[in-house]
Structure 1
Amino acid sequence: MPEYLTPGVYVEETSFRSRSIEGVPTSTLGITGLTAYGPVPYQLKSPEVIMVPRPPLVTSYTEFERAFGGLSPVGDGTDNHNYVALAARAYFENGGRRLYVQRVFDFVNDANNDIDVAANFAALPLAAPPAATPTWWARWPGRAGNAISIRSRFRRSKNVIVQRGGINVITGLAPGAAVEVIAAAPADDVLPAAGNIRIVMANAAGELGFDNTGAFAAVGAVTAAFHITLDIDVRFGPDRVDTYSGLELGSQHPRSITTVLRAADPVDEFSLVWLDRSLPAGAPAGTPPPTDAEVLAAVLQTAGFRFLTGGNEGNPLTPGLLKGEPSSPDDPKKAAKGLGALAEVDDIAIVAMPDTVRFDDLTIQKVAVDHLIGHCESLRYRIAVVDPPKDSSITGVRTFRSQFDSNYAAIYYPWIQTVDPTAKLDPGSPTSLLDVPPSGYAAGIYARTDVRRGVHKAPANEVVLGISKFKENITYDRQSVLNPEGVNALRFFPGRSNRIWGARTMTSDPEWKYVNVRRLFIYLEHSIEKSTQWAVFEPNNERLWGNIRQGIEDFLLVTWRTGALMGTKPEQAFFVRCDRTTMTQNDLDNGRLICLIGVAPTYPAEFVIFRIGQWTADSPQS
């Protein structure tokens, strides 16, 4: 209660409406697996780097390419197709808008959190080890780092020394800027001499001078100093070039090269490289680190593009690597990995793991799919899209499907053939086709259906975009075998294109056999849970119960009006009870508020039946 101690007029705000419930997003996809490049958690001791990235959100395939290297081959096995990139491409082509990707990578020679850097990361030492000169490192492990090349350029500006009151002062620069102290500016193509480089420093009074091994040195008799900045071009493959202009040398400058291009949390989230100024392994004891002038001289050696070398693909993929692990509550440096990292992203409502098809042994593939389904079941508010084994027959996919029973997963068959986006076009040869697992396409259609119609609409009878054909021809008779067993068929209909022609989960429970029903309840449950957190620790009485009833009824009324629930009247579509009939005194004494909610979902018209027969014109119509 407010206190009124002094006579006066008090104006107070209050609310006369119930708390509203906002629907959660349902079309966000999460994928974990191998990618060509990109963020992955790791810790290094030499050079010391700790990377704890969260799964990045990408909203287009262009962003995915920038973050994860596109369709470049992954792995060193017989199957090096980039299934995660192909799934992301299919997802966005078919209507997807938001995608979280968690890369997995099993480091070579990783023992006791001491990763063998040279065996995993591409690098470009700017002098032969163990010389104390800087090294360009790929920010992320993998063979794709060998496709990165770097070029350095410098700019020499006008003289920054002016006279004020007969005293030479530096103007227009911030501490950390590098200048070349020389009588007159040389030709533009003459490299700065390391012995002439000074770093601008400020004293306690704010006056600018030069850094003399940590001590302030006044400008004195220096009459000419030319500002030197660096432009770094980082090229990745034939199409991408990132340019970082106007970089400074001093570490205290906000545009320092070691700040803009650093390993952890750089200015550019998806930058490809970082500059390491620490001493290389094997440097003699007592060797001082390279000075700023030595760094400048070393960096400017890369006048033309030079490639990083030494990156590789790590150890082979395993189901345990895909499953990953949660982050450690006791060690903030230990990041979540694999599915464990996706578990920390609340927005995800659909999960796919196309790399399960890499395992030729179906027993191992089953273990990987079990991890995916278990992830969705434990978190409750997401559904798994499962891929069948590659080159599986109808009998094979039925056998594979029979090993699972979950209403939080759906499987689609067959695989899809699309024009190989990595093949070079040759007018004299046939089009190169690539076999792709269907999960990315199905997830995109989930998202498209949610946006156009709503989560209650079955994601079926929808055209699959961006494909050439389905790998197998599923006919009416073949689907009559697959559909009752919960295998959703992908079929071609002449004149109606290629379509998803099934909307069943992988369950034996008839109450949850439809994908849209499962996803509708995920949507309702998650929305109610998130939007009623305000009720915790409120006084547990009739006023609170009424507010909760009103909020949930308003939310379900809007849901019913979209066509998601049955009934011609709201009373037929849902009920909400939160009163003395749902709670005992024991419940109240133990702080429990119990609300019962019943909804009547709409089921898809899976079998549309028209009964037609003959009748005579003069017979009564029945």
Structure 2
Amino acid sequence: MPEYLTPGVYVEETSFRSRSIEGVATSTFGMAGLTRYGPVPYIATLPGNRVLTMTPSATLVTSFAEFERAFGGLDPVGTLTDTTNYLAFAARAFFANGGRRLYVARVFPFTPDPNDATAIGLTENLAQLAVGTPVVGTFRARWPGVAAQGMSVSVRLKRSKNVFSGTLKGVRPGALIELFSDNTVPKDDDPPNTAALRIVDALNATTVGLRKADGTVEAVPPGTQSAFRLTVTVDVRWGGRFDSYPGLEVDPSGTNPRSIVNVLRSGEPADEMAVVWFDPGAAPASPADVLAGLLTLSSGIGGYLTLGGEGTGLTASVIKGRESDPDDPSRAAVGLGALAEVEDIAIVASPDAVRLAKAEQVTATNDLIEHCAPGAYRIGIVDPPKDSSISKVREFRAQFDTSYAALYYPWMDIVDPTARPDPGAPPPLIQLPPSGFTAGIYARSDIERGVHKAPANEVVRGIVGFKQNVTFDRQSVLNPEGINALRFFEGRANRVWGARTMSSDPEWKYVNVRRLFLFLEHSIERSTQWAVFEPNNHRLWASIRQSVEDFLVTVWRTGALMGTKPEEAFFVRCDRTTMTQNDLDNGRMICLIGVAPTYPAEFVIFRIGQWTADSQQS
């Protein structure tokens, strides 16, 4: 009871309604695998024994254009025999089929750290700029990978058109200034006099001065000055990407927010998808030295960011990754472990598993199933091995039994957007696994109808056809075993024609039933956290019952539950019949919920017979 110690009138707000339960998103997709470049955790050793630690998490993209900017395009990736960029193609297929939100956890098979036998491999030097002569300050790739070999950086120096005489109005601390006499005003393209360069700095609390190369600050001398700014252009060479950063200041101390060391820093730059960063060196350099080094780049020599191979190759353990170490901030989550930290993900896949050997693909599939274990509130989409026959895909399917994953067969054929066919030649095709396409259909079905609708009898967009032809008779073998067929129907296009999980339990046979329960469980779990440590009495029980019942009524009205009235669709009990005194003594509040889900009309049967006008109906 609140304290009332001083006489007076107290006005307090209260609530007379139950707390509502909000349904969670079910269409967010997550993938872990190889990409051309992009965020990945690592530790790099830089010159001067400096250590750079990068710990990005899974990255959200909401379109394929965003994916291309963050992770590169569809060009080949990896060092195995099969270099098809399966994850990028899956992302493209996901968005083409109606997906809207995708989290990507890039994996990179680093060479294992010899000092840590348990490490997936974190020690790897970054690319650095290779130019004709050493420079003070270096552009480095933010993310490792051979794609850095195709990137280049150019720097253009631009003299301000404003000429200042004795005052520096509108020039912020950190700006680069050149001093010259009134009768020697340089042209815009004249090289600067490095001996006359100064950095604007605070002379005292109210006045700015000029910092010289030795670090001392002097008053602004009489005469004329002009300011310099840089424009840094990065040619990524993949997907036609060009990044331009205009109006940068040279100041290596980072005083100015537009300083090159601030805008193009390694961690959390202004452009979170930047692929390069500027390393000013182990010790602060003078502005003249930094500028001289930058001008080396603009002299036409150019510089390419290089790095060695992609490590030791992709394995199931690399895709699985690991969860973050709560006691070591430098050991960030990678692979599927990074996706596990994103609560919003409801669908997950690892398309790169198909490039592995048979035993490794089985291991990677088991890792995906384990990732989708109870409590994760997500379902996995499994790809069959490449070029699988009916017998081979049945053999592959027989190794798993779970209601938290679904298998689709066969692979897809699409027109290869990366190929350049000869004039008059037929467009080249490329084979792709179905996970990206079906994940997009999951999302599309959820958005248009709801998670209770089976993601089947839906058109697969953006494909030429299926690699194998699944007929009616062939599906009669696949469907009972939980292998969802992808089929072509004359006049009805290419469609998903199955909605079963890989479970032997008939209660969890259908994908939409499993996903409906994941939706209900996750929504209730997330929206009832307020009840923890509340007094465990009838008031709490009644409030919980009301919240859950209100939520389930809303779900029932969408058509997700059976029954013509709520009493037929669900029940909620939370009282002394669901809890013993021992439960109460041990702080347990138990609410029992039963729902009647709607099952898909997988077999639509019309029974028809002859009828005459004088037939009598019983």
TM-score by length of 1: 0.94
Shift of 1:502: 0.1
- Matches of 2:162 and 2:612 in 1, distance apart? 105
Match of 1:440 among 417, 432, 436: 436
Distance change >3 Å, CA 182–CA 499, structure 1 → 2: same
- Matches of 1:137 and 1:230 in 2, distance apart? 17
Match of 2:448 among 424, 446, 452: 452
Kept in 2, the 8 Å contact 1:127–1:133? The answer is: no
Distance change >3 Å, CA 66–CA 603, structure 1 → 2: same
Deviates further, 297-306 or 473-482: 297-306
Please say if 1:125 is aligned against 2:130: yes
Shift of 1:342: 0.5
Shift of 1:10: 2.2
Q: Secondary structure at the match of 1:329?
A: coil
Tell me the residue number matched to 1:86. Answer: 89
Shift of 1:136: 1.2
Please say if 1:155 is aligned against 2:151: no
- Matches of 1:54 and 1:549 in 2, distance apart? 37
Tell me the residue number matched to 2:240. Answer: 239
- Root mean square deviation, CA, Å: 1.7
Tell me the residue number matched to 1:195. Answer: 195
Tell me the residue number matched to 1:292. Answer: 287
Kept in 2, the 8 Å contact 1:159–1:224? The answer is: no
Q: Secondary structure at the match of 1:377?
A: coil
Tell me the residue number matched to 2:305. Answer: 308
Please say if 1:492 is aligned against 2:488: yes
Please say if 1:65 is aligned against 2:59: no
- Matches of 1:531 and 1:473 in 2, distance apart? 46
Q: Secondary structure at the match of 1:488?
A: strand
Kept in 2, the 8 Å contact 1:49–1:264? The answer is: no
Shift of 1:492: 0.1
- Matches of 1:220 and 1:364 in 2, distance apart? 69
- Per-residue CA shift, 1:49-99, capped at 9, x if unaligned? 111101110000000000001112101221100000000000000000000
Kept in 1, the 8 Å contact 2:27–2:443? The answer is: yes
- Matches of 1:585 and 1:116 in 2, distance apart? 56
Kept in 2, the 8 Å contact 1:132–1:289? The answer is: no
- Matches of 1:404 and 1:11 in 2, distance apart? 62
Tell me the residue number matched to 1:182. Answer: 180
- Matches of 1:374 and 1:463 in 2, distance apart? 30
Kept in 1, the 8 Å contact 2:45–2:123? The answer is: no
Kindly tell me the number of residue pairs found equivalent between the two proteins. Answer: 604
Shift of 1:132: 5.6
Amino acid at match of 1:243: S
Shift of 1:123: 2.7
- Per-residue CA shift, 1:261-308, capped at 9, x if unaligned? 1111111000010111215xxxxxxxx653221111111222255432
- Matches of 1:322 and 1:378 in 2, distance apart? 20
Kept in 2, the 8 Å contact 1:126–1:134? The answer is: no
- Matches of 2:340 and 2:7 in 1, distance apart? 55
Kept in 2, the 8 Å contact 1:31–1:100? The answer is: yes
- Matches of 1:16 and 1:553 in 2, distance apart? 16
Deviates further, 439-448 or 178-187: 178-187
Amino acid at match of 2:127: A
Tell me the residue number matched to 1:336. Answer: 333
Shift of 1:496: 0.3
Shift of 1:619: 1.6
Tell me the residue number matched to 2:574. Answer: 578
- Matches of 1:298 and 1:133 in 2, distance apart? 5
Q: Secondary structure at the match of 2:344?
A: coil
Shift of 1:615: 2.8
Shift of 1:393: 0.4
Residues 394-413 of structure 1 mapped to structure 2, 5 A cutoff = 394-413=390-409
- Matches of 2:452 and 2:494 in 1, distance apart? 22
- Matches of 2:495 and 2:192 in 1, distance apart? 64
Q: Secondary structure at the match of 2:373?
A: helix
Q: Secondary structure at the match of 2:372?
A: helix
Deviates further, 302-311 or 197-206: 302-311
Tell me the residue number matched to 1:49. Answer: 52
Distance change >3 Å, CA 372–CA 327, structure 1 → 2: same
Shift of 1:9: 2.8
Q: Secondary structure at the match of 1:315?
A: coil
Please say if 1:524 is aligned against 2:520: yes
Shift of 1:197: 1.6
Distance change >3 Å, CA 487–CA 115, structure 1 → 2: closer
User: For structure 1, which runs of at least 5 residues remain unmatched after alignment?
Assistant: 163-167, 280-287
Tell me the residue number matched to 2:24. Answer: 24
Q: Secondary structure at the match of 1:301?
A: helix
Residues 348-427 of structure 1 mapped to structure 2, 5 A cutoff = 348-359=345-356, 361-427=357-423
Tell me the residue number matched to 1:107. Answer: 110
Shift of 1:323: 0.6
- Per-residue CA shift, 1:433-483, capped at 9, x if unaligned? 000000000000000000010000000000000000011110000000000
Tell me the residue number matched to 1:282. Answer: none
Shift of 1:321: 0.5
Amino acid at match of 1:80: T
Q: Secondary structure at the match of 1:231?
A: strand
Shift of 1:215: 4.4
Distance change >3 Å, CA 482–CA 427, structure 1 → 2: same
Residues 467-546 of structure 1 mapped to structure 2, 5 A cutoff = 467-546=463-542
- Matches of 2:10 and 2:114 in 1, distance apart? 67
Shift of 1:427: 2.9
Shift of 1:146: 1.4
Q: Secondary structure at the match of 2:98?
A: coil
Please say if 1:170 is aligned against 2:168: yes
Kept in 1, the 8 Å contact 2:203–2:218? The answer is: no
Distance change >3 Å, CA 219–CA 358, structure 1 → 2: same
Q: Secondary structure at the match of 1:30?
A: strand
- Per-residue CA shift, 1:399-425, capped at 9, x if unaligned? 000000000000000000000011124
- Matches of 1:241 and 1:423 in 2, distance apart? 22
Match of 1:325 among 322, 326, 343: 322
- Matches of 2:218 and 2:43 in 1, distance apart? 42
- Matches of 2:84 and 2:333 in 1, distance apart? 25
Amino acid at match of 1:276: D
- Per-residue CA shift, 1:352-379, capped at 9, x if unaligned? 10001001x2111100110000000154
- Matches of 1:408 and 1:135 in 2, distance apart? 48
Amino acid at match of 1:362: K
- Per-residue CA shift, 1:113-165, capped at 9, x if unaligned? 896655xx43313454xx46222111111111112111111111145544xxx
Tell me the residue number matched to 2:547. Answer: 551
Tell me the residue number matched to 1:608. Answer: 604
TM-score by length of 2: 0.95
Q: Secondary structure at the match of 1:445?
A: helix
Kept in 1, the 8 Å contact 2:42–2:54? The answer is: yes
- Matches of 2:216 and 2:54 in 1, distance apart? 35
Shift of 1:110: 3.9
Kept in 1, the 8 Å contact 2:323–2:334? The answer is: yes
- Matches of 1:107 and 1:193 in 2, distance apart? 45
Q: Secondary structure at the match of 2:296?
A: coil
- Matches of 2:584 and 2:278 in 1, distance apart? 61
Percent identity, aligned pairs only, is 61
- Matches of 1:109 and 1:296 in 2, distance apart? 38
